[in-house]
Amino acid sequence: MKLTIDSAIAAVVVYLLAFVSLPFIAWRQQLLLIAILVIFFIRYARTFIGQIRAAVVIPVMAYGIYTFFASFLNRNQPDSFLLTPLIFATSIGALFLYMEYARIHNQIESTVTLYYWMTLAICLLNDALAVGNGIGADGNYLLGNKFPASYLHLILAAFAYHRYVYRRNATSMFTIDIRFFALYAYAVFACSYFGCNTAAVGGIIMGVMYCFQRYLLPIVRRPLVTTVTLLICDTLLLINSAIISWAPIRNFIVDNLNKSADLTGRMPIYQQWREIINAASWHGVGMENSYAFSMQITGAADVQNGLLHIILSSGCLGAILFLSAQYLLLLHASHSINASFLVMAYAFIYISIVEIPFDKVYFAVLALIIYTASSSSTYKQSTSLYRSYKENCR
């Protein structure tokens, strides 16, 4: 079913809140966007509230509410600004509420199509400005610094796979695959252009997983596998920093990623993981205070690790709620999961070894996994790129 004018406006607002952080949309504008969504939900409450799946929405809202609560407990800190966690919690909650509305009204496919075109347009605009004007005086592109700019390009690659490979239509397979390959190559090149080598390697990992997803999907779609993978990735360098001294890994870091052997100063941070966890305790220091505390403990602006950042911001309890929310969401969709966006989630997990990608955008990726799985009966079964290539050669 096509989007109505009201649902299209709501979809755009959700996208601006959850998928991107445009510099001209400051907290006042974000509050206005949230108010628009509140009006939308109140107006159409009767048409979907009674059919909302609590098993999907409650874990997300529980994590969002606790994130705000952790910041509230630290409201006396110098850098405390409670609107930051409030907007975060409201944004991810509104994202899943809107996707529930779209599911109930059979508008998931139309919403995903809209998000694909918006992502493509914003990436092209960002890159045109980056090439024409270079990086801004504040060190940012239209989409922010190199990290959010690169992450959105990787999401574009996931949208392209979903549209041109996973979701079959009457167009020839050769044409469909060429479109995906072009956008995928563009996304990885953009990551390299921005100087975000970690995201570029994440894009390469996505490509490998797409090629072999026919064989990998039965394993990686299991929620427990995803959770264990995240735990292993994000604790590997914390617990065993000696792994960097292994020659193949050391050479890969220095020669391929163009980083120093200590991961550009990250290893001294990881060696203080006990001090970071002790400072965080159960409830954390608040997401808006985490950077100041990181500077005090490690001398670095952030802790350079996805899970460790959540622990510092929201405490051990917040990390448990985050992992539980991810597990329950993936469990809900595990039987009909969409490889297009699951692979994107695994790329984020890889990136989280040395970066902090578990923000609103990660929940947007989880939402795409859940809701495209919910509507997967409208799509044909996905096959790997390798199998698609073989079919075209016949």
Does some domain include residue 298? yes
pTM, to two decimals: 0.88
Q: What does the DSSP assignment read for 75-134?
A: TTSTT--THHHHHHHHHHHHHHHHHHHHHHTT-HHHHHHHHHHHHHHHHHHHHHHHHHH-
**Pick from 54, 77, 105: which residue ends a domain?**
105
Lowest mean pLDDT among 56-60, 299-303, 326-330: 299-303
pLDDT in tens, 170-217: 344 445 578 899 999 999 999 999 999 999 999 999 999 998 888 898
Does some domain include residue 172? no
Q: Quick one: which of 172, 76, 162 has its CA closest to 340? A: 162
Judged against a pLDDT cut of 50, whether residue 390 lies above it is answered with no
pLDDT of residue 258: 62
Does some domain include residue 390? no
Does some domain include residue 128? no
| Alpha-helical regions (H) of 240-356 | 247-251, 266-270, 273-280, 290-298, 306-333, 339-351
pLDDT in tens, 127-170: 999 988 877 656 688 898 899 999 999 999 999 999 988 766 43
**Pick from 75, 105, 135: which residue ends a domain?**
105
Say how far apart CA 109 and CA 1 lie, in whole Å: 8
Q: What is the largest CA-CA distance in the chain?
A: 68
Token look-up 């799946």 returns 53
Q: What does the DSSP assignment read for 8-26?
A: HHHHHHHHHHHT---TTS-
Task: Evaluate whether 27 touches 87 at the Cβ level (below 8 Å).
Answer: yes
Does some domain include residue 362? no
Does some domain include residue 57? yes
pLDDT in tens, 68-116: 999 999 998 888 899 999 999 999 999 999 999 999 999 999 999 999 9
Mean pLDDT, rounded, for 45-49: 90
Domains in the chain, number: 2
Does some domain include residue 51? yes
**Pick from 311, 345, 367: which residue ends a domain?**
311
Say how far apart CA 167 and CA 351 lie, in whole Å: 27
In which domain, by residue range, is 271 found? 231-311
pLDDT of residue 332: 84
Which positions ≥6 away from 279 have C-beta within 8 Å? 285, 293, 297, 312
